[in-house]
C-alpha cells in the first residue's frame, strides 16, 4: 500500500473527529455569546466592577480607585433606581466599555476609617415661614408654631418636607388634595378632640388643622428645589381652599440635612444578584418545583419571592433576561437559568440572611445542575462570596449608625 493511500485513509478516519470537535467549539462559543448578550458586557466582574452602578438610576460612578467610599456592587438586573443629584431629570444609564482582560476574582478595597456623620439627625428645628397665608379676621384654631413642634409618628423631619395648616373653623376633608406627581406624601389631621390621625375624607369627621409631609428621599433620588417649591405652592392653594393659615419648612434648612442623608442612601443602596446558569436548558416545570420547594412563591409581578415570618419579601428570583415568569410559560418553556436577588437595605441581619441566601443558591444549583457564575460565566469562589458578605455587613452598619435599621419600616420608606 502506497504512502498516498495510507494518508488518504488516515484523513478519512480522522476528518469526522475533527469536524465534531470544531462543531462543539462553535456551539460552546455560541452559547457563551448568548448568555453574555443577556447579561450585557462589563469591564470586570458582575458584582465588583471599576465602573459600577447602585440601585439609583444606573448612574455611572467614578472608578473604584478614585471613589471616596468603598466600591459599589453591580446588580445584574436593576429593579429600582435612584439618582444622586436633586434634579428633576432622570439620568440615563451609561454602558461601560468592555476591557481587554479582567481578573477572575474581584478584589475589595480596604474600608476607609469610620467617620462621624457629617450631619445632625435631630429633628429639624421649628422652621421659619417661607410662605404664610395671614388670617383675615377670625383667629386660627391651632397656633402654627406650636403645630410645627409636634412630633408625629408618620413623619421624619430628616427626609419629609413638612407643611402645617391651621383652619379658622372646623371642616370636613371632602377630597384628598393633589400635591405631587413625583414624590409620595402623607396628610395627618388634628381632630376636634386634639388627636392626630391620618386624614381621610370621612363624613362627620371635622379637622382643626393638618400636617403634610412630602417624602423627599426615595429611590427616585432627592427632591429638587423646584419640586419643593411646587409642593409649597400646591399646599398653599389647599390652605386657601380650606380657609386656613400655612407654615412651610424652610427649604435651605431642610436640604442642609436631607442632602447628606441622601448621599448615604445612594451609597448603601445595593442589590446583589447571583446567577445560576445551565449549559443545557432546564424545563420550567422542574425549575418551578425546585424553587417552590425552597419556600418561594410566584408573585403577580412575574418574580418568585421568599417571605419572612412577617410575610414580607426577603429574597427574589428573576429570569436571566428579567422577563416575567408566568404559570403558563413555566409549564411550557425551558430556561437557561435564574438570578437570585438580595436587596441589602430591605433585608434585616445582613450576615445571617446572606448566609441563608447563599445556602439556597447552592441547594438550587445542586438540585437543577446549575453553575453559580458571574456575567463572564466564571464560577464564583468561596472566598469571593465571603468578601461580598462582608461588604453587605459594612453597608448595613453604615445604615445603623444613622438610625436606619435594615428591613425596618423606615428603611422601606427610604429605599422604595
Residue 343 has pLDDT above 60, yes or no: yes
Q: Cα separation of 306 and 76, whole Å? A: 19
What pLDDT, on the 0 to 100 scale, is given for residue 276?
94
In a domain, 78, yes or no: no
Residue position matching grid coordinates 419600616: 409
Give yes or no: residues 274 and 402 share one domain.
yes
Strand order across the beta sheet in which 160-172 lies: 196-198, 185-191, 206-215, 160-172, 244-248
The model scores a pTM over 0.85: no
Domains in the chain: how many in total? 2
Pairing, β 297-298 against β 196-198: unpaired
User: In terms of domains, do 253 and 314 share one?
Assistant: no
Claim to verify: residue 302 and residue 226 sit in the same structural domain: no
Tell me which of 34-48, 195-209, 383-397 is least confident: 34-48
For residue 191, pLDDT beyond 60? yes
Check whether residue 236 and residue 280 sit in a common domain.
no
Last residue of a domain, one of 215, 239, 261: 261
Question: Is residue 61 predicted with pLDDT exceeding 90?
Answer: no
Q: Identify the domain containing residue 321 by its residue range.
A: 269-415
Whether residue 344 is contained in a domain is answered as yes
Looking at residue 298, which CATH number applies to its domain? 3.30.1400.10
Angle between helical axes of 382-401 and 350-368 (0-180°, round to 10): 150
Question: Do 257 and 310 fall within a single domain?
Answer: no
Q: Give the CATH number of the domain where residue 160 resides.
A: 3.30.1400
Least Cα distance to 124 among 81, 170, 159 occurs for 159
Mean pLDDT value across residues 262-282: 91
Distance CA 164, CA 187 (A): 10
User: Who has greater pLDDT, 86 or 272?
Assistant: 272
- Give me the long-range contacts of 394-402 (CB less than 8 A, separation at least 24): 394/70, 394/111, 395/70, 395/267, 395/268, 395/270, 395/344, 395/350, 396/268, 396/344, 396/345, 396/350, 398/264, 398/267, 398/268, 399/264, 399/268, 399/345, 401/114, 401/117, 402/117, 402/121, 402/261, 402/264
CA distances from 257 to 118, 169, 239, 410 (A): 9, 35, 26, 17
Q: Residue 97: its pLDDT value, please? A: 37
Q: pLDDT category, 54, cuts 50, 70, 90?
A: low
- Domain membership of residue 74 (yes or no) is no
Beta bridge partners of residue 17, listed in sequence order: none
Amino acid at each position: 500500500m502506497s504512502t498516498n493511500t495510507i494518508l488518504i485513509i488516515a484523513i478519512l478516519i480522522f476528518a469526522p473527529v475533527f469536524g465534531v470537535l470544531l462543531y462543539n467549539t462553535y456551539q460552546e462559543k455560541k452559547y457563551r455569546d448568548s448568555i453574555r448578550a443577556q447579561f450585557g458586557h462589563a469591564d470586570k466582574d458582575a458584582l465588583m466592577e471599576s465602573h459600577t452602578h447602585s440601585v439609583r438610576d444606573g448612574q455611572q460612578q467614578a472608578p473604584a480607585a478614585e471613589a471616596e467610599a468603598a466600591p459599589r456592587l453591580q446588580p445584574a438586573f436593576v429593579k429600582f433606581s435612584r439618582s444622586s443629584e436633586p434634579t428633576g431629570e432622570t439620568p440615563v444609564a451609561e454602558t461601560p466599555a468592555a476591557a481587554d482582560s479582567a481578573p477572575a476574582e474581584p478584589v475589595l478595597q480596604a474600608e476607609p476609617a469610620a467617620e462621624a456623620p457629617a450631619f445632625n439627625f435631630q429633628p429639624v428645628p421649628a422652621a421659619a415661614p417661607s410662605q404664610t397665608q395671614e388670617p383675615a379676621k377670625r383667629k386660627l384654631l391651632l397656633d402654627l408654631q406650636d403645630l410645627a413642634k409636634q412630633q408625629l409618628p408618620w413623619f421624619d423631619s430628616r427626609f419629609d418636607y413638612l407643611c402645617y395648616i391651621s383652619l379658622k373653623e372646623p371642616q370636613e376633608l371632602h377630597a384628598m388634595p393633589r400635591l405631587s406627581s413625583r414624590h409620595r406624601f402623607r396628610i395627618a389631621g388634628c381632630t376636634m378632640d386634639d388627636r392626630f390621625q391620618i386624614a381621610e375624607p370621612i363624613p362627620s369627621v371635622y379637622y382643626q388643622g393638618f400636617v403634610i409631609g412630602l417624602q423627599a428621599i426615595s429611590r427616585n433620588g432627592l427632591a429638587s428645589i423646584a419640586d419643593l417649591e411646587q409642593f409649597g405652592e400646591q399646599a398653599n392653594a389647599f390652605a386657601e381652599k380650606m380657609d386656613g393659615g400655612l407654615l412651610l419648612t424652610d427649604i435651605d434648612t431642610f436640604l442642609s440635612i436631607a442632602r447628606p442623608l441622601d448621599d448615604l442612601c445612594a451609597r448603601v443602596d445595593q442589590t446583589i444578584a447571583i446567577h445560576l446558569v445551565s449549559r443545557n436548558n432546564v424545563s420550567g416545570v422542574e425549575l418551578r418545583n425546585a424553587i417552590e420547594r425552597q419556600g418561594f412563591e410566584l408573585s403577580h409581578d412575574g418574580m418568585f419571592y421568599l417571605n419572612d415570618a412577617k410575610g414580607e419579601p426577603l429574597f427574589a428570583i428573576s429570569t436571566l433576561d428579567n422577563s416575567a415568569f408566568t404559570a403558563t410559560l413555566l409549564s411550557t418553556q425551558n430556561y437557561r437559568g435564574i438570578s437570585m436577588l438580595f436587596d441589602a437595605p430591605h433585608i434585616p441581619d445582613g450576615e445571617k440572611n446572606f448566609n441563608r441566601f447563599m445556602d439556597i443558591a447552592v441547594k438550587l444549583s445542586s438540585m437543577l445542575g446549575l453553575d453559580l457564575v458571574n456575567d463572564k460565566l466564571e464560577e464564583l469562589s468561596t472566598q469571593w462570596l465571603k468578601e461580598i458578605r462582608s461588604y453587605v455587613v459594612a453597608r448595613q452598619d453604615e445604615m445603623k449608625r444613622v438610625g436606619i435599621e435594615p428591613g425596618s419600616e423606615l428603611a422601606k420608606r427610604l429605599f422604595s
